[in-house]
Amino acid sequence: MNNIDFPQFFRLVAEAAREASLPHFRVDTAIENKQHGGFDPVTVADRGVETVIRALLAEHFPEDGIVGEEYGSERSGAARQWIIDPIDGTRAFISGVPVWGTLVGLTVDGDAVAGMMAQPYIGELLYGVRDQGAFFERGDVRRTLKTRMTTAIGEAIAFTTTPELYTGASAGLPAHLRRSTKLLRYGTDCYAFAMIAAGQVDLVLDPGLKPYDIVGLIPLIEAAGGVVTTWDGGSAEQGGDIVASANPALHEQALALIASSLRGA
């Protein structure tokens, strides 16, 4: 991966995602449905964004594998795999709220080493590369990203998409989190994970994620100083029940809280 110019490639992806998504964001759905034969605008955007990203990958990295939410796998035996979620946060997208994002991550032998989230409407690009750092770009602004040093879980700002995703043994976890943190907010999908990298949010939990929901975000958060694992501390690259924290000390507390909540303690 040392021969890849990630900033340049991620900017190309962000620009392509912008062109393919914004014409379908905040449109009149009645008109859009007529033009695209009954598809939702977000479906049109989802497929359009993945198509342009696949074209960029074919041009720049023709031997690498691709896993995309919409169009599945190519070259699944390759050591390098690019994982694409063209529109993460489709419910935010259809509601006109710009906290959805385009996620692209690169795994090498199953390990996420570089990743990005673009928010095309706001014009933001956040990306991270192992051993190179994490960065924010918007217009002429470019800065390094660093997670927060919050180590007391009682001081943490936490997010999860919705308490309704927690069922069975985890049903009590949102209430447990709410009592144990400074603030628990709902909504925002990938955007909340990106805000860990940006040093604004301390903790994000989400159950039942797919690999493409999280792989692009792992290197972004890790390169900024954070930690991303499954709820039992395992590797996050395969998705599942995921927790991301601003730093290792906080992550340890978060894993303990989750374990205790799942035991019903």
Residue 257: both structure tokens together: 């809280």
Of the candidates 7, 163, 207, 208, which one interacts with a copy of itself according to CB under 8 A?
Answer: 163
| 258 in Cβ contact with 243 (< 8 Å) | yes
- Helix/strand/coil for 137: strand
260 is an interface residue for a copy of itself by CB under 8 A: no
Q: Give ∠ CA 146-152-155 in degrees, rounded to 5.
A: 80
2 to 41: interface string for a copy of itself, x by CB under 8 A: ------------------------x-xx------------
Least separation, in Å, of the C-beta of 115 and a copy of itself? 19
Stretches 126-134, 196-204, 235-243, 247-255: which one binds a copy of itself (CB under 8 A)?
196-204
Q: Which residues pair with 227 in a beta bridge?
A: 245
76 is an interface residue for a copy of itself by CB under 8 A: no
Smallest Cα–Cα separation from 13: which of 144, 106, 103?
A: 103
Of the candidates 183, 232, 234, 260, which one interacts with a copy of itself according to CB under 8 A?
Answer: 183
Q: Give ∠ CA 221-6-114 in degrees, rounded to 5.
A: 35
123 to 152: interface string for a copy of itself, x by CB under 8 A: -------------------------x----
Residue count, binding to a copy of itself (CB under 8 A): 32
95 is an interface residue for a copy of itself by CB under 8 A: yes
178 is an interface residue for a copy of itself by CB under 8 A: yes
Of the candidates 44, 84, 192, 221, which one interacts with a copy of itself according to CB under 8 A?
Answer: 192
Comparing CB distances to a copy of itself, the nearer of 106 and 145 is 145
Of the candidates 34, 91, 142, 179, which one interacts with a copy of itself according to CB under 8 A?
Answer: 91
Of the candidates 1, 111, 179, 186, which one interacts with a copy of itself according to CB under 8 A?
Answer: 186
100 is an interface residue for a copy of itself by CB under 8 A: no
Rounded CA-CA distance 124/136 in Å is 7
- Helix/strand/coil for 47: helix
For the chain, how are helix, strand and coil distributed in percent, rounded to 5? 40, 30, 35
Rounded CA-CA distance 199/216 in Å is 18
CA 182 distance to own-chain centroid: 23
Comparing CB distances to a copy of itself, the nearer of 99 and 116 is 99
Specify the DSSP element, H or E, that contains 56. Answer: helix 41-60
Comparing CB distances to a copy of itself, the nearer of 96 and 154 is 96
225 is an interface residue for a copy of itself by CB under 8 A: no
Cα distances (angstroms) measured from residue 166 to each of 24, 160, 207: 31, 10, 7
Please tell me the number of Cα atoms within 13 Å of 48 on its side-chain side. 19
- Write out the residues near a copy of itself by the rule CB under 8 A: 26, 28-29, 91-92, 94-99, 121-122, 148, 157, 159, 162-164, 178, 183, 185-188, 191-192, 195, 198-201
